Amino acid sequence: MHTFATVQEFVRFRTVTYYTLKREGAISTETDDFLYRMEQEAGYRSQLRKLIKWFKIIGDDIDGASFGLFRQEGLCVALPPQGRYLGGTIDLRLYCHWVSENIIILYNGGIKTARAAQDCPNISRHFYNAQSWTKQLLGIGIERNGRMITNLEELYIKY
């Protein structure tokens, strides 16, 4: 049996609107859940605040959120962007779907503690959910570069 999630606006800036998903019956959206959980991790609060500030600066930037700012993770993308981290540093991961420079759908994530996301107990669930949701969004017709978007908030995503 499926539950459904809807797309809803998360925060809007001058150039970029960030959306997120909310499951039927859930108290908070997927991205709110990520923020509430990461806020409890004392060692990551500064990283989290920098990420928040980044969303605003990129959101107001005339160039918007270009695809190159994100790391490719299967069908979807994630933050922070790709790169080698010395000594396998533990890091935040927030999965997203890049629709265009002006529209980003934020999902959920956590602290990556294994080399591969699929093997990490903190984020594997979020990784697989992100793949499933992006696959559905692409199937509905929200192609990369924002073509064929009508009203995101009328969409239903199977959970």
Which residues lie near other proteins (CB under 8 A)?
Answer: 9-12, 20, 29, 31-32, 35-36, 39, 46, 48-58, 61, 63, 68-69, 71, 79-84
Backbone angles phi, psi at 95, to 5 degrees: -85, 145
Q: Rounded to the nearest whole angstrom, what is the least distance from the CB of residue 114 to other proteins in the complex?
A: 19
Contacts of 139 (CB under 8 A, 6+ apart): none
Please tell me the distance from the alpha carbon of residue 120 to that of residue 75, in angstroms, as a whole number: 18
Q: Which is nearer to other proteins, 56 or 135 (CB)?
A: 56
Rank residues 79 and 123 by Cβ distance to other proteins and give the closer one: 79
Alpha-carbon span 121 to 104, nearest angstrom: 26
Pairing state between β 103-112 and 17-23: parallel
Q: Closest separation between CB of residue 31 and other proteins, Å? A: 7
Min dist CB 102 to other proteins, Å, is 17
Least CB distance to other proteins at residue 90 (A) = 15
Nearer to other proteins, 81 or 141 (CB): 81
Instruction: Choose between 37 and 135: whose C-beta lies nearer to other proteins.
Output: 37
Query: Judging by beta carbons within 10 Å of its beta carbon (0-12, 13-18, 19+), is residue 55 exposed, middle or buried?
Result: buried
Minimum CB separation from other proteins for residue 42, in Å? 14
Cβ atoms of 157 and 5 closer than 8 Å: yes
Q: Calculate the alpha carbon distances from 10 to 40, 90, 103, 114 in Å.
A: 21, 26, 11, 29
If the CB atoms of residues 34 and 133 are measured against other proteins, the closer one turns out to be: 34
